[in-house]
Amino acid sequence: TDVPTVQLNDGTEIPQLGFGVWQVPADDAERVVAEALKVGYRHIDTAAIYGNEEGVGRAIAASGVPREELWVTTKLWVGDFKEGNTKQALRTSLEKLGLDYVDLYLIHWPSPEDEAYVQAYQDMEELKAEGLTRSIGVSNFLPEHLDAVIGASSTVPSVNQIEVHPVLQQRDVQSADASHGIATQAWSPLAQGEVFGDEPIVAAAEAHGVNPAQVIIRWHLQRGRILFPKSVTPERIASNFDVFGFELSADELAAIDGLERDGRRGAHPATFN
């Protein structure tokens, strides 16, 4: 399967559909990532705080997939950058992953009680210059956090990874991203399975002979977002990747847009420390 790519503002090309491993236990990570790579995923989204970078790394090493065909994202934990430990944190992640570089390094949360995230971003610019990550970005940044980083740095983050799914679309953040040339990545893209029964999703699934998860994944793809749904079940890992044989109509997309109801599932970036 040829997954479409999105060109980031630093010129790198990221596969638009990947595989996420939050809440995948360390002991399971090798098996599920191996499964995902077998199915054809070439983009893996992990984080230091997920505790499963070693398993991800073992699956990558065993897969035989050439490194340059893979996109690997990991994330800098808040405690690390508050302690001024950004550079060492990436080196530790690389060691666990068994890689010489990652493709994308993200500040996991802004934790805006202070502006330590600005220094973290500047440190990440140096990590990029050193070749330890191809691209750098942020996660859970509100427009004011983007402004703080952009105002104090010589580059613009390539990515902002935020919670986006049919019932929480954060259009204000998405448009701030777009206005800066920052690509939006959607986390919890399936709302962790909570919106599969919503009428426009069920209707589109029936119309196209697919399942509700596949409809939601298509909606993100056709709206231009990057996403990496998570599953530990082989059939779901496969079906979540089998989304290139149908297309939602403009009306179907608009009906899913209409499901917005401030249905946040995760923490709020302004208060998460």
User: Dihedrals φ, ψ of 139, to 5°?
Assistant: -145, 140
List the x/- string, 49-78, binding to ligand NAD by CB under 6 A: ------------------------------
Q: Quote the CA–CA distance of 129 and 124 in Å, as a whole number.
A: 9
The tokens 């990532």 sit on which residue? 33
Nearest distance from residue 197's CB to ligand NAD, in Å? 11
Retrieve residue 35's tokens. 């499964």
Question: Whole-angstrom Cα distance, residue 59 to residue 70?
Answer: 12
Dmax (CA) for the chain in angstroms is 53
Among 17, 21, 102, 168, binds ligand NAD (CB under 6 A): 21
The tokens 């923490």 sit on which residue?
A: 267
Residue from 30, 45, 103, 123 touching ligand NAD (CB under 6 A): that is: 45
**Spatial separation of the C-alpha atoms in residues 193 and 158, rounded to whole Å:** 28
- Within residues 227-256, the interface with ligand NAD by CB under 6 A covers 228-231, 236, 239-240
Q: CA-to-CA distance for 41 and 81, rounded, in angstroms?
A: 30
Query: Which 171-200 positions form the footprint of ligand NAD (CB under 6 A)?
Result: 187-193
Q: How far is the CB of 269 from ligand NAD (least distance, A)?
A: 9
Whether 50 is catalytic is: yes
Across the strands, what pairs with 6? 14
Binding piece for ligand NAD, criterion CB under 6 A, among 149-157, 223-231, 245-253, 254-262: 223-231
DSSP single-letter state for residue 111:
-
Does 266 contact ligand NAD by CB under 6 A?
A: yes
Residues that bind ligand NAD (CB under 6 A): 20-22, 45, 108, 139-140, 161, 187-193, 213, 228-231, 236, 239-240, 266
Q: Catalytic amino acids?
A: 50
